[in-house]
Amino acid sequence: MASSQILITLDTSRSMFRSDYKPSRFNNALDAIKLLVSKVLEKDATNSFALITFNDSIKKMNDFTRSKDEIFNSLDELTLKGSSSLGEALGLSIKVIINELRKISDQIPRILLISDGNATQSAIDPLKMAKLAAQLNIKIDTFRLGESSHLNILKRLSDISKGKYYFSNDKETLKNSARSYYKSSLSDLTSQKDNVIKNPQYLRKIAASLLRVQDLTKDQEQRLKQIRGVANYKKCSICFSEKDPVTKGSFYLTGRFCPNCNSPFHVHCLAGWADSQNESHLKRSGTVRCPHCYYLLKIPSEVTKAKRLKALTTHNRPRGEEKKEFPAYQTSAEELGIEATYSSCPVCNMIFEKTDEIIKCGNPDCGALYHKNCFKELKGNICRSCGFKLILDSEE
Ligand SMILES: [Zn+2]
Ligand SMILES: [Zn+2]
Ligand SMILES: [Zn+2]
Ligand SMILES: [Zn+2]
């Protein structure tokens, strides 16, 4: 039987103080969560929970854990304040789940949102986050606490993401929600037959982009030098040399790091490693598990096709010499249609919304798509996917 993973996203804003539930909405929410966590972990010790809280700020209290005590300890130290940043909380929840999916992927974790639905403080539209969740097959289940004069946004979040919605208006109905959720969600998860997680397009969507030497933060570089040694941290952990065995170029050109464990490899060595593995669904998706930490990685598009490999070999010259540039184009998800639907941004790793403005890499062998704001974060306008400098048309 597959394990269930539930990420609890809990409202800790001031309105949860309200005493329409005795002694307060919040106390009852804590009781319901503890009941749920106890039951689910009793049923199967390989089930796990994560916890995110939100008020003016959002906080990841626990990453996925099988320990009841860890979750309970976090719950016991919570305090209420401010208003609720619901959109931001869902954004972080989706990120935590994507990170989990990259580590292990046999089930897609669910989000259980517990709130009274006063989403007054959100700069990020919660509905937009629900649509993003829906595209990733992440279900948002909701325990809605108490009557509200606002639009029933919580119900809409669950509807959009095909999650379950429970309304309660007192202690007893909330407990009942927890009980029936525990029964239905577990049977639901274990009977889930559609194996979306092996779908190549899905894998490509959630896989992490590799880091280039210049993408490393100062801290990451420092840590790498400590662990692997100053002389070795740019040596490929597959072929054990600095020079790329295919292009004969330096590590700066075709060397990349795993964003999770920071192991170094040449893109060609990693692609070769991918070919030697026998997981056909990974191969078809152009993704590979890191040989060291098993994190799901995206093989750069320039090495997924022989033609692209050739282009890279002929264009790459040692650092310092003149490099070829390509234009970049402003476009939108709406204009690109299906192309945008099945891509993700190499900077934030998120997929695109219909309303997003997009910058497209003009290298015909690459065509990477970036969110307009993410594109601004590229160092020296170098495309993260193909490594060529991009000139944005409006900058001329
Ligand atoms: Zn190598
Ligand atoms: Zn790794
Ligand atoms: Zn982005
Ligand atoms: Zn590119």
In this structure, which residues have their CB less than 5 angstroms from ion ligand 1?
236, 238-239, 266, 269
What Rg do the C-alpha atoms of the chain give, in angstroms? 23
Alpha-carbon distance values, 122 to 78, 90, 91, 125 (Å): 21, 10, 11, 6
Residue ranges making up the domain that contains 343 = 324-396
- Residues 59 and 108 grouped into a single domain: yes
Ligand 3 centroid, distance to 158 Cα (angstroms): 25
Which of 302, 323, 344 terminates a domain? The answer is 323
| Confidence tier at 149 by pLDDT (50, 70, 90) | low
pLDDT given for residue 307 in this prediction: 39
Same domain, yes or no: 166 and 311: no
Say if residues 384 and 212 touch (Cβ distance below 8 Å). yes
pLDDT digits (tens, 9 = 90+) for 39-57: 999 988 899 999 999 999 9
pLDDT band, residue 305 (cuts 50/70/90):
low
Q: Do 293 and 145 share a domain, yes or no?
A: no
Residues 86 and 203 in one domain: no
Note the pLDDT of residue 323.
55
**Which of the four pLDDT bands, split at 50, 70 and 90, describes residue 188?**
low
- Same structural domain, 15 and 162: yes
The verdict on 173 and 211 lying in the same domain is no
Percent of the chain past pLDDT 70, that is, above it, reads 88
Report the distance separating Cα 189 and Cα 220, nearest Å: 37
Q: Token digits for 260?
A: 């999770």
For residue 83, the Cα-to-chain-centroid distance in whole angstroms is 25
Ligand at minimal distance from the CA of 346 is: 3
* ipTM for the assembly: 0.64
In 37-132 the beta strands, taken as DSSP E runs, fall at 48-54, 58-65, 110-115
Q: What is the 256 CA–ligand 2 centroid distance (Å)? A: 11
Instruction: Answer yes or no: do 254 and 341 share one domain.
Output: no
Q: Which residue has the higher pLDDT, 188 or 58?
A: 58
Residues 116 and 65 in one domain: yes
Ligand nearest to the CA of 366: 4
Which residues does 126 contact at the CB level (< 8 Å), separation at least 6?
A: 86, 87, 90, 119, 153, 157
138 and 12 within one domain: yes
End residue of a domain, out of 276, 303, 323: 323
CATH number at residue 117: 3.40.50.410
Ligand 2 centroid, distance to 53 Cα (angstroms): 29
Give distance in angstroms: CA of 341 to centre of ligand 4: 18
Whether residue 321 is predicted with pLDDT greater than 60 in this model: the reply is: no
Q: In angstroms, what is the span from residue 184 Cα to ligand 3's centroid?
A: 36
Asked if 393 and 256 sit in the same domain, the reply is no
- Measured from the alpha carbon of residue 291, the closest ligand is 2
Select the highest-mean-pLDDT range: 22-36, 195-209, 244-258.
22-36
Number of domains comprising the chain: 3
Task: Tell how far the Cα of 386 is from the centroid of ligand 4, in angstroms.
Answer: 4
Q: Determine contact, residues 82/55, Cβ cutoff 8 Å.
A: yes
Which ligand is closest in space to the CA of residue 312? Answer: 4
The domain boundary, picked from 140, 169, 194, lies at 194
168 with 25, same domain? yes
Which-ligand-closest: CA of 132?
3
Residues 59 and 105 in one domain: yes
Residues, Cβ < 5 Å to ion ligand 3: 345, 347-348, 371, 374
